[in-house]
């Protein structure tokens, strides 16, 4: 696929706000000049984007859905990957994160429930130390999306601006504090 995995774990706390990686992105994605807004130009696919730095266990990736587009099925997908986006050849990215990128690399992503993600929604997602992927939409309850993320190496956030989701914006501040153990009451997506 033209990508390389990263096995070097960093021990430093994140020092910079998350942005989208400027080069590793799907063929239909345009980024704004500061790398915080990703827009899919055409079609319903080729909207994969990555964070520019690894994400810590428990660190919330917060984004706002800016625009939706009718006429498509499915929507935003979120997750994590061991692919270092600095080593990803953008022309080699597949059209979909699920299942294509997951089959080609150590990537774990999930579709967010279509009915609860609309323009203006704030979505936070994170992985805990046990490798459980969670998401929260607006002030709702955490949703347990997956339990199989392999830990022990750097993970980058990966998002697929897919289907009805047309544009997203990474937010500098996360509206909710993480619960790194994933405890409490979660609604599991089936």
Identify which of 190, 169, 182 has the alpha carbon closest to the alpha carbon of residue 20.
169
pLDDT (tens digit per residue) in 115-160: 788 999 999 999 999 999 999 999 899 999 999 999 999 999 999 9
- Left, alpha or beta for 74 (phi > 0: left; psi -120 to 50: alpha)? left
Which value, to the nearest 10 degrees, does the dihedral of the CA atoms of residues 129, 133, 135, 140 take? -70
* Residues 121/64, Cβ–Cβ less than 8 Å: yes
What is the DSSP pairing of strand 155-160 with strand 143-146? unpaired
Q: What is the mean pLDDT of residues 31-44?
A: 96
Q: What is the mean pLDDT of residues 154-181?
A: 81
Strand partners, 32: none
Reduced to 3 states (helix: H, G, I; strand: E, B; else coil), residue 76 is coil
Which value, to the nearest 10 degrees, does the dihedral of the CA atoms of residues 167, 128, 111, 101 take? 90
**Over 60: is that where the pLDDT of 175 sits?**
no
Q: What mean pLDDT is reported for the chain? A: 87
**Over 70: is that where the pLDDT of 3 sits?**
no
Reduced to 3 states (helix: H, G, I; strand: E, B; else coil), residue 32 is coil
- Answer with the residue of higher pLDDT: 189 or 45: 45
Q: What is the mean pLDDT of residues 36-51?
A: 96
Report the C-alpha gap between 70 and 168 in whole angstroms.
Answer: 16
What pLDDT, on the 0 to 100 scale, is given for residue 174? Answer: 55
Identify which of 51, 59, 57 has the alpha carbon closest to the alpha carbon of residue 18.
51
Reduced to 3 states (helix: H, G, I; strand: E, B; else coil), residue 66 is strand
| Full-model pTM | 0.85
Identify which of 175, 1, 4, 184 has the alpha carbon closest to the alpha carbon of residue 82.
4
Place of tokens 């059209």: 95
In the chain the domains, ranked by start, together with CATH numbers, are 20-173 (2.60.120.920)
pLDDT (tens digit per residue) in 79-119: 999 999 999 988 899 999 999 999 999 999 999 987 788 99
């Amino acid at each position: 696929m033209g990508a390389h995995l990263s096995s070097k774990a960093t021990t430093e706390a994140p020092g910079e706000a998350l942005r989208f990686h400027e080069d590793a992105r799907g063929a239909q994605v345009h980024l704004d000049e500061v790398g915080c807004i990703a827009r899919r130009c055409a079609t319903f696919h080729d909207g994969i984007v990555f964070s520019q730095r690894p994400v810590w266990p428990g660190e919330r990736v917060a984004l706002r859905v800016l625009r939706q587009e009718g006429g498509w099925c499915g929507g935003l997908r979120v997750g994590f990957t061991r692919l270092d986006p600095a080593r990803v050849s953008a022309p080699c990215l597949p059209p979909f994160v699920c299942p294509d990128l997951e089959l080609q690399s150590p990537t774990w992503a999930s579709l967010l429930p279509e009915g609860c993600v609309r323009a203006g929604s704030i979505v936070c997602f994170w992985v805990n130390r046990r490798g459980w992927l969670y998401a929260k939409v607006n002030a709702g309850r955490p949703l347990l999306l997956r339990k199989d993320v392999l830990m022990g190496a750097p993970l980058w956030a990966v998002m697929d601006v897919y289907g009805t989701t047309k544009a997203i914006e990474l937010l500098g501040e996360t509206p909710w504090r993480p619960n790194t153990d994933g405890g409490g009451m979660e609604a599991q997506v089936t």
